[in-house]
Amino acid sequence: MALQRTHTCGELRKSDTGKDVVLNGWVDTRRDLGGVIFIDLRDRYGKTQIVFSPQDNPQAHALADQLRSEFVIGIKGVVEERDSVNINPNMPTGEVDIRCSELVIYSKAETTPFEIKDDTKANDDIRLKYRYLDLRRPSMQDKLMMRSKAYQVIRTFFNENEFCEVETPVLMKSTPEGARDYLVPSRVNPGKFFALPQSPQTYKQILMVSGMDRYFQIVKCFRDEDLRADRQPEFTQVDVEMSFVNEEDIYALMEGLVKKTWKELVGADVQTPFPRMTYDHAMNTYGSDKPDTRFGCEFVDFSDIVGKSEFRVFSKTVADGGIVAGFVVPGQGVLGRGVMDRLTDRAKTELGAGGLIYIKNNKDEVYSSVGKFVSEDITKEMVAKSGANEGDLLLILAGNRADVLNQLGGLRLIVGHEYNLIDYNKYNFLWVTDFPLVEYSAEDGRYYAMHHPFTSPKEEDIDKMETDPLSIRARAYDLVLNGSELGGGSIRIHNRDVQSKMFRLLGIGEEEAQEKFGFLLGAFKYGAPPHGGIALGLDRLMMLITGAKSLREVIAFPKNQKAQSLMDNCPDVVETKQLDELHIQLKPMVK
Amino acid sequence: MALQRTHTCGELRKSDTGKDVVLNGWVDTRRDLGGVIFIDLRDRYGKTQIVFSPQDNPQAHALADQLRSEFVIGIKGVVEERDSVNINPNMPTGEVDIRCSELVIYSKAETTPFEIKDDTKANDDIRLKYRYLDLRRPSMQDKLMMRSKAYQVIRTFFNENEFCEVETPVLMKSTPEGARDYLVPSRVNPGKFFALPQSPQTYKQILMVSGMDRYFQIVKCFRDEDLRADRQPEFTQVDVEMSFVNEEDIYALMEGLVKKTWKELVGADVQTPFPRMTYDHAMNTYGSDKPDTRFGCEFVDFSDIVGKSEFRVFSKTVADGGIVAGFVVPGQGVLGRGVMDRLTDRAKTELGAGGLIYIKNNKDEVYSSVGKFVSEDITKEMVAKSGANEGDLLLILAGNRADVLNQLGGLRLIVGHEYNLIDYNKYNFLWVTDFPLVEYSAEDGRYYAMHHPFTSPKEEDIDKMETDPLSIRARAYDLVLNGSELGGGSIRIHNRDVQSKMFRLLGIGEEEAQEKFGFLLGAFKYGAPPHGGIALGLDRLMMLITGAKSLREVIAFPKNQKAQSLMDNCPDVVETKQLDELHIQLKPMVK
């Protein structure tokens, strides 16, 4: 290291004028103006302009002539104030430049495959392959710094609240529930496998049984599943568990965490406590268990009004036990036929709706797309019930209840984004509560836990476990922000009898339960406290807080949608020798 | 949750007398004294005595009669001051007890397989199997809390020093160097495997190339190797990398970290800067690259004195190029024949020495165990050179240089512990520097990197890479505490030419280098800053700072020496269906 830096590239100000300084960094831009060379030198902290003049030091000037973008250099020089006409008000260092007296080139650079600047046109694959260049872009560095700050804010919060941070194992036992485990063969235990955790759920419950009282961890979790656009095979979770608590304790704690995080990271004052909504209300009103409450468009059920209509789509749907429901789009009564046709198409193709019915409640005319079949009285009654104002549009779907709610939910989001109903500066947090304990899979002929098998049913619903499982509400809750699930959790079962009932309900036999969860059930024999917890998805939280469009923007080295890292080309084939040592071999491919 | 706690079991004091309180916790002990029942209620924060008297509440008293150790309960009651005779000065809550008015049993407990108390006699396997009970012991909870505090102290330090915390991938590419990778088959990429990181080395270097400037992470790393007593298959590392630095920057940073950590965790004032010692000096003087400098016993080379002796063990050794060397054990000239015989046995069996020669430098007699063969003059010359005082013992070995240094190193530690030469209250930190860049394996007929292939040689030694590799010193350093390696690191190669030379030296061909490290070499094409870093073993650090005897004492859920978790019985066999999905199968066992 020839030149030990005295300052970073974001640090020097007018008040530093006259100082001898050393800076290190990357050549961001280089201009040659009539023999004088100007360099913007860049590091994580900012940019500073360096001036090479043949008068100051002919040798440095000659060397500077070789400089190209992304060369790594060190320079020594004197800080000088810029002439007022040359001041750059857009750079914090814009009032000074450094007159260079010495230049050292640490490392040259080939021409980069894309330009290092924030508004890159490089596609995702190129950016991922050259992630080390992509991460040089200031906007990416800002996101990583923001994430770094988030870790510290979150951990400090839990520390101040007497939580104990515990590292749970990454090499653990494979469990049968939920999405797929990554398996890890053990060399020293032939034929046996570890699994990577989908969540440290059982360990954090064990920690409660062991009396740790309050646990948290920011922890990597893993799922080997087909990737959707917004999933990563390894993801980071803020994991929390507490003893001797109820739902209110968890809500209050997490609201405190969110309030502090938003304040310190983006300076926003989040209002607490957060509103709460039952799962049933969310589904019936927004067609989603994670409703975006930044805008209205709440659903209205017209079944009672249209059941008597002569229009068979309406009357038959209702007669068959389905519903006719819709919502008001404020001010969009003006939309023309073409737009409505395209919206109808989207409802059909993207949401699987049979069709889209609409009413335009305009001053001069109340127009119904099914006006030929439905009496004006019924149309007006519908408008009245919907609360639509003059100039509003009413969108309506008919069909079986679950489908209509689901499709309306999708339609509501499309319309919300398309017609500027959403205030993107809002942070609408929401607790969704009272989830069903189980759901029934007709395909598999069995019940599945809606959260996981350790979720406690509500006290007052326990007696329905053998009679009416679908009506049981769980002590489970999700934290929702602007229509995204930030996380979820529950009060757990700490009573062995209830746990046994739960396993029975899920068709998990005594033996299987012992085999898979024996250690947790065993632990419960020796005194388990009432306990509960929650886990937040940190990647999604960072995505929402930075306004990023993808999880990949807030993860330093993400995988692509095929669970591959394009930068270091993994996963990859390995040598047979390595597999031999692990006592496994590839399965012959069936062609 | 019937009873919402108002205080923890470690919180109440005399000044709380008269307050209505609710406590939750585990029944630690129960005594029945003439109809009045006394419970010590325990949680993570401490213990509080609860009194159940039939007069106060006959119902609670009757229920309290059922209580057994480790039942989980909630109690409501009034804080009362104890009579002066009943004050327990050993408990922070010992001046009060709670007169119970209401008792709720949350969970009963079977008799635990061992008693929940600090001085347990349970063996390691039982403790690991019932880890949830083992972790109830206050000494274990203290260690976990200490570790939790350490995370926060360490992270705060790095944050205050403008480091960016970045999570590097757990699912990464398998690399060929070093110990064995855990492999992870990919379900969605048939026939391909991820590896778990043995260290995030390449990623942290990539982060430097991407301009992150200062990176740190507390990160899990993995090694699938035969386990020694002091290894775990997954271990935690404090990982650091910095750009534009030299060794002095790393030393100063880490000394600041250690100073702060020791101050905040144990209240000790660690002196900085730490002493430094070259690898050669450490090997020649202590026979170890991680010398315990809490005591002396530095080696003295007697070869020049004894080369001329008629005693063939001495003269032939020296003539053959070996050495005769030893060290002084202060005040142990009094040791008798039997003790010396046992020490000789240990030197032979544990250290592989051919024999042990000794001189007792006592007032009445200078006794040499080889006095029959060696002249008194030579013996006295040896004593003089050794600097032994009256009453001291001199231990001497002869043989080839490497063996003697190694054996003397082992002997020195045995003697140091056995004869109380070590002040166990001392924290002796030490930088060991100037490691060799490579070592030669006669067996494999090739050179291996002493640290890793990215370690930079010293500038002035680079020209020896093709002529005299074994004499090249690396810019590598280890941090040693009391004879244990806390961590190590190096200034890295950032120049592609030097990196190519290094690969050539290690016999890593162009193609293999591209295949395995192509992305790092590729990154270096686009401007790499000079950089370096270090990694500390957090588990070992916690072991040393808490005075624990094993890494298992400072890890919540450790594996045993067969890399198994006895609590949840993993690794374990998995269903063939799972392997099918991963496109692998077990290799048939050769019987």
Give A180's contacts in chain B (Cβ within 8 Å). 187, 581
Chain B contact for A123 (CB, 8 A cutoff): no
Residues 251-280 of B with CB under 8 A from A: none
Chain A contact for B179 (CB, 8 A cutoff): no
Mark B546-569 as b/e (b = at least 16 C-beta within 10 Å).
bebeebbbbbbbbbeeebbbbbbe
Give A200's contacts in chain B (Cβ within 8 Å). none
Q: Which segments in chain B show pLDDT lower than 70?
A: 1, 176-179, 228-229, 590-591
| ipTM for this prediction | 0.94
Strands B36-43 and B46-52: antiparallel
Give B234's contacts in chain A (Cβ within 8 Å). 169-171
What confidence score (pLDDT) does residue B409 get? 97
Comparing alpha-carbon positions, the chain A residue that sits nearest to B233 is A171
A308: Cα separation from own chain's centroid: 45
What confidence score (pLDDT) does residue A466 get? 87
Give A26's contacts in chain B (Cβ within 8 Å). 211, 527, 529
Mean pLDDT of chain A: 93
What confidence score (pLDDT) does residue B229 get? 66
Give A192's contacts in chain B (Cβ within 8 Å). 570-573
Q: Is the pLDDT of residue A178 over 50?
A: no
Q: Is the pLDDT of residue A179 over 80?
A: no
* A14-107 placed in CATH 3.30.530.20: no
In sequence order, what are the residues at sequence separation of 6 or more whose Cβ sits closer than 8 angstroms to the Cβ of residue A378? A305, A306, A308, A309
In a 10 Å sphere around its CB, with 0-12 CB exposed, 13-18 middle and 19+ buried, how is residue A423 labelled? exposed
Give A166's contacts in chain B (Cβ within 8 Å). 144, 147-148, 556
What confidence score (pLDDT) does residue B159 get? 97
Size of interface A-B (CB pairs under 8 A): 380
Residue linked to tokens 């268990």: A289
Contact at CB, A246 and B4, closer than 8 angstroms: yes
**Per-domain residue ranges for chain A?**
14-107, 140-169+198-271+429-555, 295-418
Contact at CB, B24 and A210, closer than 8 angstroms: no
Chain B contact for A233 (CB, 8 A cutoff): yes
Give A155's contacts in chain B (Cβ within 8 Å). 151-152, 155
Interface residue of A7, A22, A43, A107 to substitute, partner B, most B CBs within 10 Å:
A107
Both structure tokens of A581: 């040592």
What confidence score (pLDDT) does residue B308 get? 86
In a 10 Å sphere around its CB, with 0-12 CB exposed, 13-18 middle and 19+ buried, how is residue B160 labelled? exposed
- Whole-angstrom Cα distance, residue B536 to residue B479? 8
Q: Is the pLDDT of residue A308 over 70?
A: yes
- Tell me the per-residue pLDDT of A475-486, one tens digit each, with 9 for 90 and over: 999 999 999 999
Percent over 90 (pLDDT), chain B: 83
Contact at CB, B174 and A572, closer than 8 angstroms: yes
Chain B contact for A181 (CB, 8 A cutoff): yes
- Tell me the per-residue pLDDT of B86-99, one tens digit each, with 9 for 90 and over: 999 999 999 999 99
Residue linked to tokens 């996101």: A143
> Mean pLDDT, to the nearest integer, of A199-228?
93
The phi, psi pair for A228, rounded to 5°, reads: -90, 170
What confidence score (pLDDT) does residue A519 get? 87
Both structure tokens of B497: 């030419």
The phi, psi pair for A263, rounded to 5°, reads: -65, -45
Q: Is the pLDDT of residue A102 over 70?
A: yes
Strand intervals (E) in B403-499:
429-433, 438-441, 446-449, 476-481, 484-491
Chain B contact for A108 (CB, 8 A cutoff): yes
A420: how many CB neighbours lie within 10 A of its CB? Answer: 10
Distances (CA, A) of B86 to A43, A111, A198, A576: 67, 81, 51, 72
String of DSSP letters for A354-384: S--EEEEE-SS-EEETTTTTS-HHHHHHHHH
Chain A contact for B227 (CB, 8 A cutoff): yes
> Mean pLDDT, to the nearest integer, of A72-84?
96
Contact at CB, A570 and B530, closer than 8 angstroms: no
Task: Give which of B145, B138, B144 is closest to B9, Cα–Cα.
Answer: B138
**Assigned CATH topology for domain A140-169+198-271+429-555:** BirA Bifunctional Protein; domain 2 (3.30.930)
The phi, psi pair for B32, rounded to 5°, reads: -115, 110
In a 10 Å sphere around its CB, with 0-12 CB exposed, 13-18 middle and 19+ buried, how is residue A271 labelled? exposed
Name which of B25, B110, B524 is nearest A526 (Cβ-Cβ): B110
Chain B contact for A422 (CB, 8 A cutoff): no
Give B190's contacts in chain A (Cβ within 8 Å). 589
Handedness of CA A541, A546, A549, A555 (dihedral sign): negative
Contact at CB, B106 and A494, closer than 8 angstroms: yes
Name which of A8, A186, A234 is nearest B169 (Cβ-Cβ): A234
Contact at CB, A168 and B557, closer than 8 angstroms: yes
What confidence score (pLDDT) does residue B176 get? 62
What is the pTM assigned to this prediction?
Answer: 0.94
String of DSSP letters for A434-488: --BSEEEETTTTEEEESS-TTBPBPGGGGGGTTT-GGGPBBSEEEEEETTEEEEE
Comparing alpha-carbon positions, the chain B residue that sits nearest to A169 is B557
Comparing alpha-carbon positions, the chain A residue that sits nearest to B154 is A152
- Tell me the per-residue pLDDT of A368-393, one tens digit each, with 9 for 90 and over: 999 999 999 999 999 999 999 999 99
Contact at CB, B155 and A155, closer than 8 angstroms: yes
Residues 182-201 of B with CB under 8 A from A: 182-196
The kind and range of the H/E element at A253 are: helix A247-266
Span of A348-352, A412-416, A449-453, B426-430 with lowest mean pLDDT: A449-453
Residue linked to tokens 């009391």: B482
**Assigned CATH topology for domain B295-418:** Gyrase A; domain 2 (3.30.1360)
Strands A193-195 and B96-107: unpaired
Interface residue of B171, B239, B531 to substitute, partner A, most A CBs within 10 Å:
B171
